[in-house]
A = this chain, B = another copy of it.
Amino acid sequence: METLEAIQTRRSVRKFIDKKIPDDLIEKILRAGMNAPSAGNQQPWHFIVIDDKKILEEVPKVSLYAPMAKEASVAIVVCGDVKLEKYPGFWVQDCSAATENMLLAAHSLGIGAVWSGIYPLEDRVSGYRSLLGIPDNVIPLSIIIMGYPQEIPKPADRFKSERIRHNKW
């Protein structure tokens, strides 16, 4: 899929069919995440790939708005490691860029996905720490829940010219 088309047609997908995503496509999606830009090119990220149904069924207990995890083929938790940072405080931006790359990669491969937020909500951060055994220096930022889509949402046009300014506010 062409890049601008992927960006313009990507939507959150929350309903999945019962079909496994092949491992080679998961790897393509992880590669896309790891090729994001990062502050000082420090790549301060880790990825936890969840395909164990028992753990996927636990996800909605931590993320109340993520009941779709139960029906997902896989979920990937994107984490930032503050010990890997050269410029403190930029890990959120680095891991967000990685998350967005993964959403676009998934969409371009015909896979539906939704970005469910974790950080900065303390209860979710601690919930995923317990569920997955994440150490203190690593902070879960987002969980990308994925599967083959039950239906493809129509593209949305979010362009707002009033949000653009020229040279000065």
Contact = CB atoms under 8 A, between A and B. Distances in A.
B158 A120 contact: no
Task: Specify the main secondary structure of chain A where it touches its partner.
Answer: mixed
A24 interface: no
A115 B47 CA distance: 23
A31 B164 CA distance: 10
| Most chain B beta carbons < 10 A, residue from A31, A48, A89, A96 | A96
A15 B109 CA distance: 33
Nearest to A160: B34
A150 interface: no
A166 interface: yes
A139 interface: no
